[in-house]
Structures are given as structure tokens and as C-alpha cells.
């Protein structure tokens, strides 16, 4: 009888049987199970765990992880890098946090599908204050051709969502008009094709036109199509809705209920100005899950928010796309209406949260450079302008591209959301300007350093689960987010005693401490705390990965 080789048995020591061996570390496998001492062998792009007591195979390279944690690479459920990565493929702010996969196409603002090249360029212009306007070739049209731009050219993986703004532009244009049956069918067909080409679901950003013009019913119809194709609904909620507290989140849950598909609420957070405590928001999620709905959320661990400065302008003024938006911003009658509406919303007052205290996040023109990173109120005072005139003039002079950084969630709410058993992590990272939100450089290390090690808010193994297997399950990734035999070798090695975020509001572009090695598909992209220059990342495809 011929004995067949045992695929689980390592060859004899002394032969080079692994590409990389990680020895001496504590394996925190991403499932929430207690960490255990162990050795990880990497063969090609896959993991092989060395059985306890078995001699390790020889390897071409060994990483000594003594005193370190070996974990699956972190998965970021919200990143504004859908264009930025194509211009800055090393993506150091993210990989040096241990992030090996991030979700793009968020907030309804995806850059595919676009059949019309002019529409793509216009959408990039409209959204430049959030995702940037890098000097790259905008030469794709479909999801397939867009995703192909990432493969083997970036340092981490991306999972793409189809934004409902792209669908609306393709089916209805840029205006605030209802979606009839024909338009809805067109959007559903576009979404279905996009998912066949690798998208993981649908996103919405209901503060950003033209996607914000969608009704609850329209979004439920699209969510149903995403669910039929194995995807989910990922939403930046409609914050101005109803009581501006619970009602936006009720709508998100209702869309999942009507669409009979999973609903994921992204950058879930609580402001001190809300009329009730964060527990009321969490109760909405708990009640929905008790009803049998698949509702999840992510939160970012930073007190600083960031988005395009254009968000301060009412959505009706942005109807019709960037050219018509700029026409309105230059119209004195329109500015008078904007001024009245901002006054009614309380945005023009001088206290915290008012327009004067918005920190300008990105300015391109040399004559404006001195205002970058400073409050808008300083520009208003220096020019002697009316606040609305100063805002509109700046947007026009900078071609709609300025970014803003503002106070966001409060720390107490962050703690409550991170403690919740279904809470996950999305950095909501933006990359524009000299002083972006510190969440871009420090989200995952802050959780591991401050909230796990220093405050004991949750255990290390549980924190790693929230960053790895939980988001992998939300996406539907089969071979990532865990350390097990046959899984893809997306791995981070960090020092639990020193890991910490160094990014602050005043100095946000600082890399963290303690993230020592990061591997993507078995290739080191960070070694001994430095980027290796490798770009093994790619776009992960729904239905394949």
C-alpha cells in the first residue's frame, strides 16, 4: 500500500519549506479565543500553523516575535482612499497601523460605475474635498476596470462598495427628482452588474448630493437588490432627518428591514449636543437585532471628524452637479438664502460647533496656504467678510476642493460604542491637507494602546476580534480575518506593551508606535516598523475572495 502524503504534516527540518516563519509570539487568532504561544509558517500567500510541540520547518526568513502579538491583519470598514490609493500606493498612514484591508466606495461616493467620462470627472470635482482630486488618469468606466487599477499596485487590499450617488447619476442625473419604476430598475441593474464584477454591496451618504436625494423607499429597493446578490447596505445616515438624533438611525434600520438585507451603520457616533445619551442609539440596534434584523455598526476612536467643506452648503444649492453649484455660490440672492438657512440651523453662531470654528483642512492655492489648519473665523476676521461670503468665496476660489476638520464624537460615547459586542472599527480616514483628523494615522493603535492596555475597556483578544474576524464576516470574506491553516497571510505583529497612537489634532501626521511587522498576502509591507516599498495588495472581489 502506498501511503499518501499528509498535507497537514510539515516536511523534515533542514529543508526550506516555508517562505517566512514567525516564531516566539502570542497568537491572537481573531476569533476572540485566548492568545496562545505558537509559530506561524507562511507558504506563498497562505498560513500554516505549526502544531504545538512539532519542530518548525526551515524557512527562507524568520521573524522573531518574542514578546509580541501575532494577529490577523486589521480590516478598516470605512476609508476615503478610492482615489488617493491610486496616487499614493504605499498608503503608509494605513498599513503602518496594521491595516491590511479597507473598504472604499463609502458614503455613497464611489467612482464606478460611470459610463460617461465627463460625469466621472464632474463627480471627482464635486467630492474633491472628501476624497481628493489626485493627478491620475481617470480612464475607467465599469467596476471591473476600476478595480483592475488596484491589483498588484497598492500595499493593502480594498473591498469596494457601489455608492448610490453613482447609481443616481447614471439613471437620473444630478437633480433632486424622484426615482420612478424605470429609474429604479436601471439603478438595480447597474448595482447587479457591479456586484457581478466584484462589489461587496451598496453604500449611501445621505448628507452628500445627489445620493442624498434618494428616498427611504428608493434605498430599500436598492438594498433588496444588494441582498439578493449576497451583499449588504453600508450607510452614512441622513443626519438632518426628523429629531436629528434617533430618526436618522431609525431610517437606516428601516431600509434594511424593507430591503430584507443586512444594514451596517458606519461611523456610528454620539455628539454631546444630542438630546439623549448614547445608550438610546445602542438600544435601537439592540431592538432591531432582537427582532431578527441583521444590523451592525462601526465607530472611529477619535474626537475629530472630517469631510468636505461643501457639506456646510444646503443640498438644494448643490443640485445639478459642480458647475451649477458654483453658479449658485456666486449668486448674491442664493447666498442670502444660504445665510438665512444657516442662521436657522444655528451654524452662524460664534460658539463651539459654529461656522467660525470649522478648521480648514485643505487649501491648494498659494495665497490661501497660511489659512490651512486654522479656524475659518480667522479668515473671516482677516478679510472682514460676512461669514457666508467668506465660505462661498473660498469654495469658489479653491474649485470646491477645501476640506474641513471639526469636533466630532465625544470620548464617552466612543467608549460605549467600542464596548458593545457588535461594534467594529472604521477609521473614516481622509488624507487631505497638512492636518487631517488624527483618526487617519492612529485609530487602531489608539484602541490597542489607550482603550485596551491603559483603560481595560475591553480585552485584547476581543479588541482584535472586532478588528479582524468580525468585519471579515460582515463583508463576507472567507479566508481573511483569522489565523488558521489555509487562510490568506494578512498578518500584523505588534508589541502590546508599547503600541500607541501618536497622532494628535495639532500634529496628526505621526505614525504610531508598536506596529512592527505587517504582511499582505504573505509579503512584508512593514518590517521593523518601516515600509518595505512592496505593493502586493489588490481589489478583493465579491464571489471570489
What's the whole-number mean pLDDT along residues 100-112?
98
pLDDT score, position 3: 30
114's CB contacts (< 8 A; 6+ apart) are 120, 123, 140, 141, 166, 169, 170
Relative orientation angle of helices 278-290 and 411-419, to the nearest 10 degrees? 20
Q: Is 454 exposed, middle or buried (0-12, 13-18, 19+ CB in 10 A)?
A: exposed
Neighbours of 1 (CB within 10 A): 3
Would you place residue 14 in the very low, low, confident or very high pLDDT band (cuts 50, 70, 90)? very low
For residue range 449-474, what is the model confidence (pLDDT) as tens digits? Answer: 999 999 999 999 999 999 999 999 99
Share above pLDDT 70 across residues of the chain, in percent, rounded to a whole number: 96
Would you place residue 171 in the very low, low, confident or very high pLDDT band (cuts 50, 70, 90)? very high
Would you place residue 354 in the very low, low, confident or very high pLDDT band (cuts 50, 70, 90)? confident
What's the whole-number mean pLDDT along residues 218-247?
97
Q: Which of 526, 508, 509 is nearest to 517 (CA)?
A: 526
Would you place residue 17 in the very low, low, confident or very high pLDDT band (cuts 50, 70, 90)? confident
How far is CA 9 from each of CA 25, 259, 276, 286, rounded to the nearest angstrom?
Answer: 21, 47, 58, 45
Q: What are phi and psi of 464, to 5 degrees?
A: -65, -40
What's the whole-number mean pLDDT along residues 84-99?
98
What's the whole-number mean pLDDT along residues 495-513?
97
Share above pLDDT 90 across residues of the chain, in percent, rounded to a whole number: 90
pLDDT score, position 1: 28
Place of cell 491553516: 485
The answer to whether residue 510 scores a pLDDT higher than 60 is yes
pLDDT score, position 9: 43
d(CA 526, CA 319): 44
What's the whole-number mean pLDDT along residues 166-185?
98
The answer to whether residue 332 scores a pLDDT higher than 50 is yes
Instruction: Give the class (CATH, top level) of 74-306+408-442.
Output: alpha beta
Domain boundaries, the chain: 74-306+408-442, 320-406
pLDDT score, position 328: 98
pLDDT score, position 134: 96
507's CB contacts (< 8 A; 6+ apart) are none
What SS3 state is found at 394? Answer: helix
For residue range 369-426, what is the model confidence (pLDDT) as tens digits? Answer: 999 999 999 999 999 989 999 999 999 999 999 999 998 898 999 999 999 999 999 9
Choice between 346 and 416, residue whose per-residue pLDDT is larger: 416
Please, are residues 188 and 170 in contact by the beta-carbon 8 Å criterion?
no
d(CA 144, CA 185): 21
d(CA 537, CA 154): 5
pLDDT score, position 16: 58
Q: CA dihedral defined by 449, 453, 457, 461, rounded to 10 degrees?
A: 90
Neighbours of 325 (CB within 10 A): 22
How far is CA 348 from each of CA 343, 374, 455, rounded to the nearest angstrom?
Answer: 5, 17, 38
What's the whole-number mean pLDDT along residues 432-458?
96
The answer to whether residue 117 scores a pLDDT higher than 60 is yes
pLDDT score, position 146: 98
Would you place residue 8 in the very low, low, confident or very high pLDDT band (cuts 50, 70, 90)? very low
The answer to whether residue 350 scores a pLDDT higher than 80 is no
The answer to whether residue 482 scores a pLDDT higher than 70 is yes
Place of cell 494605513: 94
pLDDT score, position 15: 52
Q: What is the CA radius of gyration of the chain?
A: 23
What's the whole-number mean pLDDT along residues 428-443?
95
d(CA 542, CA 102): 14
What's the whole-number mean pLDDT along residues 436-457?
97
Q: Minimum mean pLDDT among 150-159, 219-228, 234-243, 346-355: which range? A: 346-355
What's the whole-number mean pLDDT along residues 143-165?
98
d(CA 263, CA 379): 41
Place of cell 490651512: 372
Please, are residues 462 and 475 in contact by the beta-carbon 8 Å criterion?
no
d(CA 269, CA 427): 12
**Strand ranges for 295-437 from DSSP E:** 295-299, 304-308, 359-362, 403-407, 423-425
Please, are residues 365 and 397 in contact by the beta-carbon 8 Å criterion?
yes
Neighbours of 320 (CB within 10 A): 16
Q: Which of 368, 382, 373, 454 is nearest to 415 (CA)?
A: 454
Amino acid at each position: 500500500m502506498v501511503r499518501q502524503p499528509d498535507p497537514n504534516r510539515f516536511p523534515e527540518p533542514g529543508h526550506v519549506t516555508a517562505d517566512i516563519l514567525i516564531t516566539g509570539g502570542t497568537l491572537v487568532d481573531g476569533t476572540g479565543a485566548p492568545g496562545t504561544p505558537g509559530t506561524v509558517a507562511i507558504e506563498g500567500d497562505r498560513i500554516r500553523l505549526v502544531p504545538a510541540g512539532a519542530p518548525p520547518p526551515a524557512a527562507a526568513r524568520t521573524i522573531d516575535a518574542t514578546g509580541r502579538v501575532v494577529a490577523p491583519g486589521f480590516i478598516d470598514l470605512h476609508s476615503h482612499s478610492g482615489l488617493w490609493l491610486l496616487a499614493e500606493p504605499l498608503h503608509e498612514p494605513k498599513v503602518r497601523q496594521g491595516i491590511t484591508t479597507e473598504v472604499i466606495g463609502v458614503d455613497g461616493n464611489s467612482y464606478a460605475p460611470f459610463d460617461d467620462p465627463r460625469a466621472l470627472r464632474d463627480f471627482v470635482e464635486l467630492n474633491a474635498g472628501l476624497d481628493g482630486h489626485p493627478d491620475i488618469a481617470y480612464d475607467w468606466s465599469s467596476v471591473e476596470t476600476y478595480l483592475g487599477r488596484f491589483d498588484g499596485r497598492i500595499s493593502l487590499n480594498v473591498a469596494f462598495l457601489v455608492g448610490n450617488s453613482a447609481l443616481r447619476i447614471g439613471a437620473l442625473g444630478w437633480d433632486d427628482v424622484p426615482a420612478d419604476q424605470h429609474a429604479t430598475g436601471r439603478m438595480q441593474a447597474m448595482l447587479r452588474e457591479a456586484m457581478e464584477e466584484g462589489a461587496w454591496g451598496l453604500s449611501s451618504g445621505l448628507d452628500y448630493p445627489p445620493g442624498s436625494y434618494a428616498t427611504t423607499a428608493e434605498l430599500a429597493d436598492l438594498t433588496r437588490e444588494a441582498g439578493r446578490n449576497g451583499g449588504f447596505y453600508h450607510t452614512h445616515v441622513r443626519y438632518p432627518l426628523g429629531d436629528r438624533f434617533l430618526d436618522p438611525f431609525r431610517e437606516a434600520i428601516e431600509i434594511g428591514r424593507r430591503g430584507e438585507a443586512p444594514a451596517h451603520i458606519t461611523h456610528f457616533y454620539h455628539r454631546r449636543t444630542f438630546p439623549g445619551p448614547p445608550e438610546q442609539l445602542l438600544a435601537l440596534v439592540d431592538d432591531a437585532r432582537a427582532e431578527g434584523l441583521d444590523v451592525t455598526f462601526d465607530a472611529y476612536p477619535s474626537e475629530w471628524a472630517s469631510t468636505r467643506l461643501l457639506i456646510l452648503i444646503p443640498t438644494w444649492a448643490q443640485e445639478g452637479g459642480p458647475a451649477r453649484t458654483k453658479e449658485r455660490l456666486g449668486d448674491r440672492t442664493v447666498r442670502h438664502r444660504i445665510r438665512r438657512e444657516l442662521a436657522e440651523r444655528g451654524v452662524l453662531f460664534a460658539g463651539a460647533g459654529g461656522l467660525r470654528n470649522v478648521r480648514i483642512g485643505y487649501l491648494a492655492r498659494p495665497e490661501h496656504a497660511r489659512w490651512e489648519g486654522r479656524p475659518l473665523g480667522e479668515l473671516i476676521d482677516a478679510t472682514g467678510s460676512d461669514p457666508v461670503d467668506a465660505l462661498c468665496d473660498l469654495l469658489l476660489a479653491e474649485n470646491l476642493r477645501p476640506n474641513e476638520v471639526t469636533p466630532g464624537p465625544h470620548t464617552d460615547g466612543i467608549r460605549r460604542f467600542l464596548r458593545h459586542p457588535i461594534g467594529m472599527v472604521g477609521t473614516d480616514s481622509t488624507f487631505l491637507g497638512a492636518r487631517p483628523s488624527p483618526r487617519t494615522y492612529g485609530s487602531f493603535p489608539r484602541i490597542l494602546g489607550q482603550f485596551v492596555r491603559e483603560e481595560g475597556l475591553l480585552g485584547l483578544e476581543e479588541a482584535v476580534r472586532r478588528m479582524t474576524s468580525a468585519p471579515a464576516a460582515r463583508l463576507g470574506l472567507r479566508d481573511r480575518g483569522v489565523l488558521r491553516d489555509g487562510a490568506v497571510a494578512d498578518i500584523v505583529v505588534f508589541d502590546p506593551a508599547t503600541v500607541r497612537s501618536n497622532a494628535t489634532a495639532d500634529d496628526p501626521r505621526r505614525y504610531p508606535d508598536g506596529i512592527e511587522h505587517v504582511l499582505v498576502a504573505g509579503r512584508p509591507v512593514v518590517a521593523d516598523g518601516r515600509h518595505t516599498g512592496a505593493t502586493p495588495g489588490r481589489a478583493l472581489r465579491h464571489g471570489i475572495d
